[in-house]
């Protein structure tokens, strides 16, 4: 049930991106709205990004095998990185199209283009909230990346609404330079899309490079292990994100006069306690060292 709900969310995102791409490109071409055309091309990239997220989500849930003994969790991280790259390319395209529009006589703004941009804004905001809540609940990197992709579209749609709206007001009241509100808004929103892409890319690289969990989570791990009476000393704790789950390596010292079975039981107790207290931990490797008074 957990996995099917995330797949449904990704399928809804994919179909929505296809529909919105067609809507924006067609309306943008008919009414000569540069920001709407650029946003539509951005949505075309979203189709590829969502398909990558959909594929990676299915791959990441596959069980460990001989070639992938630690599982397939990083498939979602790779998809998140792909989405970040697509967002960068989309933002650069928006800047290019917007600057290009500033260098030629402005086209007359259209109320139909404004309606199309507003529909996209509302639609994408709803998808962002839906996918982000589900992604956080399930710790799905691909679903969170898809949600952030929707958020970038929200920014772009806001720019389109504001830009086209300003141009319409300027046309109606004959206010100079307002007809360039469309491309100027596109340039502004590109900054926010680039910023979002940078943050997503940085997180993906961190996971792929085996970056440690945040200090607060390591301290929580340490407190859990210290609560076990048989543990005399914590020699080392390491933990890393592996996609939608966490892997932990621990070295602890226990009394040197315990039997192998007693040591095994303590090791099992440490694993079970950590996995019970931290639901996102999938695997715990415990190394035991002898403790001498």
By the 8 A CB rule, do 147 and 199 touch?
no
Hey, where are the domains in the chain?
Answer: 2-208, 215-291
- Across the beta sheet with 233-241, the strand order is 233-241, 246-255, 281-291
Q: Rounded distance, CA 50 to CA 128, Å? A: 13
Per-residue pLDDT of the chain (293 residues; tens, 9 = 90+): 445 687 888 889 989 989 988 888 888 888 877 667 777 777 777 787 777 777 777 777 777 777 877 777 777 778 778 878 887 887 888 788 778 878 877 667 778 888 988 998 999 999 999 999 998 888 777 788 888 888 888 887 888 888 888 888 887 787 777 777 777 877 877 787 788 788 878 878 877 777 888 889 999 999 999 999 999 999 999 998 876 678 899 999 999 999 999 999 999 999 999 999 998 888 899 999 999 87
Strands 281-291 and 233-241: unpaired
Q: Does domain 2-208 have CATH number 1.20.1510.10?
A: yes
Q: Where are the beta strands (DSSP E) in the chain?
A: 233-241, 246-255, 281-291
- Domain 215-291: give its CATH superfamily: Cation efflux protein, cytoplasmic domain (3.30.70.1350)
Q: What is the pLDDT of residue 250?
A: 94
Query: Measured between alpha carbons, how far apart are the two ends of the chain, in Å?
Result: 51
| C-alpha span between 265 and 259 (Å, rounded) | 10
Q: DSSP letter at 212?
A: B
Task: Supply the pLDDT for residue 34.
Answer: 67
The dihedral of CA 123, 51, 193, 38: what is its sign?
A: negative
In 3D, which of 120, 145, 140 has the Cα closest to residue 5?
140
């Amino acid at each position: 049930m957990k996995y099917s709900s995330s797949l449904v969310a990704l399928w809804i995102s994919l179909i929505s991106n296809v529909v919105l791409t067609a809507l924006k490109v067609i309306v943008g071409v008919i009414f000569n709205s540069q920001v709407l055309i650029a946003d539509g091309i951005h949505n075309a990239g979203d189709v590829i990004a969502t398909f990558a997220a959909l594929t990676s989500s299915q791959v990441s849930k596959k069980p460990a095998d001989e070639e992938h003994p630690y599982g397939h969790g990083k498939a979602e991280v790779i998809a998140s990185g792909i989405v970040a790259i697509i967002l960068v390319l989309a933002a650069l395209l928006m800047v290019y199209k917007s600057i290009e529009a500033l260098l030629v006589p402005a086209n007359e703004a259209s109320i139909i283009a404004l309606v199309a941009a507003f529909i996209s804004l509302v639609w994408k905001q709803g998808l962002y909230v839906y996918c982000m809540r589900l992604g956080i609940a399930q710790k799905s990197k691909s679903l969170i990346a898809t949600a952030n992709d929707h958020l970038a579209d929200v920014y772009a749609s806001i720019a389109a609404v504001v830009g086209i709206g300003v141009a319409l007001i300027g046309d109606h009241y004959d206010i100079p330079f307002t007809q360039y509100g469309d491309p100027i808004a596109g340039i502004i929103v590109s900054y926010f899309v680039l910023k979002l892409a940078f943050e997503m890319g940085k997180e993906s690289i961190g996971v792929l490079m085996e970056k440690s969990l945040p200090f607060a989570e390591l301290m929580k791990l340490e407190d859990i292990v210290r609560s076990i009476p048989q543990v005399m000393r914590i020699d080392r704790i390491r933990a890393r994100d592996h996609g939608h789950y966490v892997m932990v390596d621990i070295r602890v010292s226990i009394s040197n006069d315990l039997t192998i079975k007693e040591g095994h039981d303590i090791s099992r107790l440490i694993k079970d306690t950590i996995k019970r207290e931290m639901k996102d931990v999938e695997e715990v490797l415990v190394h035991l060292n002898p403790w001498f008074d």
